[in-house]
Amino acid sequence: MTLLVTGGCGFIGSNFIRYWLSKYPNDHIINLDKLTYAGNLENLKDIENNPNYKFVKGDICDKELVMDITKGVDLIVHFAAESHVDNSIEGPEVFVKTNVEGTLILLEAALKNGGIRFHHVSTDEVFGELPLDDPNAKFNENTPYAPRSVYSASKAASDYLVRAYYNTHKLPITISNCSNNYGAYQFPEKLIPLAITRAIMNEEIPVYGEGTQVRDWIHVDDHCRAIELCITKGEIGSTYLFGGNGERQNIWIIKKILEYLNKPESLIVHVGDRKGHDVRYAIDFSKAQKELGYNPTKPIEEGLKDTVEWYKQHEQWWKPLKAKADIQAERYLEKRLDI
């Protein structure tokens, strides 16, 4: 089988490619990635000479390239997306172009090249937010969409497009919406790698408000396995939600990282909150459990400790990227709060 993986040089995409080739060594993977700031060839350096792996630098919004590269492909796994909420506030246009127009171009190519099996990777942020005072409230496949940022609105639009191609053209699709990922090779602007790398360097760590926002964390290895289950067992036309049983406040995450690194909590700096910041996400993945046999295997404490160790041992990977992440961190730190 030949797979086209979009955004395969990003965090989740690169982990998925490595996972898939280890599980299905006779399959062929074409990795289409534009190599924006979060795409990194170093993420897949260990497999770049694998004869069953091919990298193509290109944009999913390039109609001619996408149409050509999808010829002879059996499966498209679509990761490519602009994904940082703060960046979507400051520069919304690229989010709509990449996440909406790019997905449309891929769907058209899949349709015109024989109805290629299409798996679309999305996010729990399309559902909006949950209340902090109701721990039993969780997102499920029937939760109405209520995106609250340009990023989540663009991902919601792409989800609807994928469903439209199934309903209108019977294109064989599945969709997965997952909670916050963490693990190896995550670009150091995101919460967990930002906190780890800055703590290692004894630098201040910005935390929005009091840090009481709750996220459900899923280790990227569990997410890769979940996507495999969607592809191999998922019902065509269906959506599946995946969580990690890892609901924690952001401040808990930061303090646990500092504990693992034996660093002081005085590194924490509380900053002004993000505009429209969602207060809580949580996932009911019982449908995936029942239909696909999915269960997360890495508890948050274990997975977070493993992630800290990975960043400690791979400074040569993240140090060249840190300057870009620090620009964002310094913007946060300008909005210090006295808490």
Is residue 284 in some structural domain?
A: no
pLDDT of residue 132: 87
What residue type is assigned to position 338 of the chain?
A: D
Same domain, 76 and 125: yes
Is residue 288 in some structural domain?
A: no
Query: Looking at 151, 165, 311, 332, which residue is catalytic?
Result: 151
Is residue 16 in some structural domain?
A: yes
Same domain, 32 and 112: yes
* 216 noted as active-site residue: no
pLDDT beneath 50, residues of the chain: none
Is residue 237 in some structural domain?
A: yes
pLDDT of residue 155: 97
Could you say which of 242, 258, 289 is where a domain stops? 242
Cα-Cα-Cα-Cα dihedral sign, residues 69, 108, 96, 166? negative
* 247 noted as active-site residue: no
Q: Residue with structure tokens 């929005």?
A: 208
Same domain, 164 and 257: no
Closest CA to 38 of 84, 88, 77: 84
Is residue 339 in some structural domain?
A: no
Same domain, 148 and 196: no
205-227 burial code (b ≥16 CB/10 A, e <16): bbbbbebebbbbbbbbbbbbbbb
pTM metric for this prediction? 0.95
Same domain, 63 and 75: yes
Q: What is the pLDDT of residues 217-271, one digit of tens each?
A: 999 999 999 999 999 999 999 999 999 999 999 999 999 999 999 999 999 999 9
* 125 noted as active-site residue: yes
**The two structure tokens encoding residue 180:** 């916050």
| Domain that residue 250 falls in | 184-215+246-279+298-333
Same domain, 166 and 209: no
pLDDT of residue 87: 72
Same domain, 200 and 235: no
DSSP string, 249-273: EHHHHHHHHHHHHT--GGGEEEEPP
Same domain, 195 and 161: no
Query: Quick check: 302 and 159 in contact, CB under 8 A?
Result: no
Is residue 338 in some structural domain?
A: no
Q: What is the pLDDT of residues 78-111, one digit of tens each?
A: 999 987 677 767 778 989 999 999 999 999 999 9
Query: Looking at 59, 82, 124, 189, which residue is catalytic?
Result: 124
CATH number at residue 322: 3.90.25.10
CATH number at residue 27: 3.40.50.720
Q: How many domains does the chain have?
A: 2
Between helix 315-333 and helix 191-200 the angle, nearest 10°, is 100
Query: Quick check: 12 and 121 in contact, CB under 8 A?
Result: yes
H helices of the chain, where? 11-23, 63-69, 85-90, 92-96, 102-112, 150-169, 191-200, 220-233, 250-261, 286-292, 300-313, 315-333
For 2, list phi and psi in degrees, rounded to 5.
-115, 125
Q: How many helices (H) and strands (E) does the chain have?
A: 12, 12
Query: Looking at 33, 59, 82, 125, which residue is catalytic?
Result: 125
Same domain, 274 and 302: yes
Distance CA 34, CA 48 (A): 17
Same domain, 20 and 163: yes
Same domain, 61 and 93: yes
Same domain, 71 and 165: yes
Is residue 132 in some structural domain?
A: yes
C-alpha to C-alpha distances, 303 to 39, 109, 227, 253, 298, nearest whole angstrom = 23, 38, 19, 12, 6
Is residue 228 in some structural domain?
A: yes
Query: Quick check: 102 and 144 in contact, CB under 8 A?
Result: no
Phi-psi region of 115 (alpha: psi -120 to 50; beta: other; left: phi over 0): left
C-alpha to C-alpha distances, 180 to 130, 191, 282, nearest whole angstrom = 15, 10, 10
pLDDT of residue 339: 67
Instruction: Kindly report the number of other CB atoms within 10 A of residue 16's CB atom.
Output: 26
